[in-house]
Chain A
Amino acid sequence: MNVTQTVLEFFDSRGGLPGSTEQEKLACAYLDAKVIDSMGIIDMISHFEDSFGIRFEADDMQSEQFQTVGGLVQVIEKLRAAA
């Protein structure tokens, strides 16, 4: 499963990310950009955990990396590699 594509598809299904290129979309700080709200975060976390068979820990979720779409992809890839 391609992590980047799956993550981008999730955000597309929630109204889409700002930016026209993949690079711009990956740079998006999705919370600051209000692409998803506070409760949407829980949906997002569950969705990625179920899709990729991983579990985010508090340190993952609170990392700076986790705040952008591209960073989120990297966190998921790291957790998948460790699984």
Chain B
Amino acid sequence: MSQPCPDLISFLESPASHPDRWVLMNVHTRQCLGVGPEVMTVLADPDNATAQTYRVWKIWRFSHIDGLLADPSRYKRDAATWGEPEIVDHPALLKLLKDQCLVIDDLDAYRARFDFKKSLLDRQRFGTYHQQLGQQLIAFERRDPAAWWLQQKFTPDLSAIRKDNLYGAVQDRFLDEWLPRRMKPGMRVLDLGCGAGTIAQKMARLGASVLGVDPNEEYIRLATERAEGDATFQVLDLNTPGALDALPAASFDCIYMSDALLFYFVPYEPGKPLDLDGFIADVKRLLKPGGTFLSLEPHPVFYVQPWLGDPARPFTVMTEYLHTHWRINPPLSVLARPFLESGFVITGVEEPASSREDPHVPQRDAAFASEFPVWLLLELKLAEAAA
């Protein structure tokens, strides 16, 4: 027997201009359908066949394909862009509602679909966020994921952080304001996963003596070519056991890492965990007494949550936190615990936000990120040094 999915919400996307266009959204799977209000009676009793016709708009789209930091809400925003509706009969409507998991046949069978995808073509299992993204990029869009990922954060020449998305509006803005308060002339800094050296260069320009390491030879070549001040770069793959052994103990005042620590908690490939204990031991060994580990990671609460509501007053719907199906990043306690148990204390927490009126990004992006921080920075020191 068909039933409305318990994970269904409905709302008006553009109530002022289109009060008859509703969004039906499965908040867990992020599937959507635009419908006329006449569809609401079908949701109450889906199998009650009628001779009526219904208006639907196929508004679902994999919006992350526009960019990692693009609107994660996965439907065509603004009802004015939906175009003409399809007019469908009851059986066709029911099929569309079931395809989008807005109406289901069997709750247990539906719940069982929240599992890792088994292959690139697996539609049955919803999979993790990264599996969904990989499936979309590789199988459906036929794009090179490595090239796509690189385009998200940096300008095409890899010389700067992009200004036209939240990397620029939040992360870059925050670092430009915050790093000058932390970097001191002569301070020795290790940038783990430095890419083409953009952030390492920011720190070197503030007088720090920076070593940037990254597994990608091309990035290191570019970083070395552009090095200003006291910045050096070295090819080094953190996933190779003993990779950091060649660096002398107690040699850095600060170790910086951004957008990479999450993969120690939520492996990129399911079932292939990275060595977090070994990583923490390396950080402890390499820090000077009193040194700081700086970790800037996607915020465990707000990263890629749907951006709902009017940009003037955005809201989101939280669907999971401690036990996540999307598996992007760990909850705060899980992120902090292994460091705290290894003798670190948290000496600083920052939740970078955008300006509400950032001229470089769309109004909705700036509005959401000015209220809900999409990154979290932790400053950690060894306990005896902190005391």
Report A's interface with B, CB cutoff 8 A.
31-32, 38-39, 41-42, 45, 58, 61-63, 66-67
Report chain A residues within 8 Å CB of B122: 31
> What residue in chain A is nearest B119 (Cβ atoms)?
A31
Using known A-B contacts A58-B140, A61-B140, determine if residue A41 contacts B120 with beta carbons closer than 8 Å: yes
Using known A-B contacts A42-B138, A42-B139, A45-B139, determine if residue A62 contacts B121 with beta carbons closer than 8 Å: yes
Check if A42 sits within 8 Å of B123, measured CB to CB: no
Check if B140 sits within 8 Å of A31, measured CB to CB: no
Considering only CB atoms and an 8 Å cut-off, how many residues of chain B contact the other chain? 9
Which one, A32, A38, A63, A67, contacts B120 given CB within 8 A?
A38
Task: Please report whether the interface of chain B is mostly helix, strand, loop or mixed according to DSSP.
Answer: loop
Using known A-B contacts A61-B139, A61-B140, determine if residue A42 contacts B120 with beta carbons closer than 8 Å: yes
A-B contact pairs, 26 of them (CB 8 A): A31-B118, A31-B119, A31-B121, A31-B122, A32-B118, A38-B119, A38-B120, A39-B120, A41-B119, A41-B120, A41-B121, A41-B139, A42-B120, A42-B138, A42-B139, A45-B139, A58-B139, A58-B140, A61-B121, A61-B139, A61-B140, A62-B121, A62-B123, A63-B123, A66-B121, A67-B121
Report B's interface with A, CB cutoff 8 A.
118-123, 138-140
Report chain B residues within 8 Å CB of A66: 121
Nearest 10 Cβ contacts at the A-B interface: A62-B123, A58-B140, A31-B119, A41-B120, A38-B120, A61-B121, A38-B119, A41-B121, A61-B139, A42-B138
Chain B nearest Cβ from A32, distance in angstroms = 8
The CA-CA distance from A55 to B122 in the complex, in Å, is 18
Report chain A residues within 8 Å CB of B140: 58, 61
Report chain A residues within 8 Å CB of B121: 31, 41, 61-62, 66-67
Report chain A residues within 8 Å CB of B123: 62-63
- B120, B121, B138, B139, most chain A CB atoms within 10 A: B121
Chain A nearest Cβ from B140, distance in angstroms = 4
Report chain B residues within 8 Å CB of A31: 118-119, 121-122
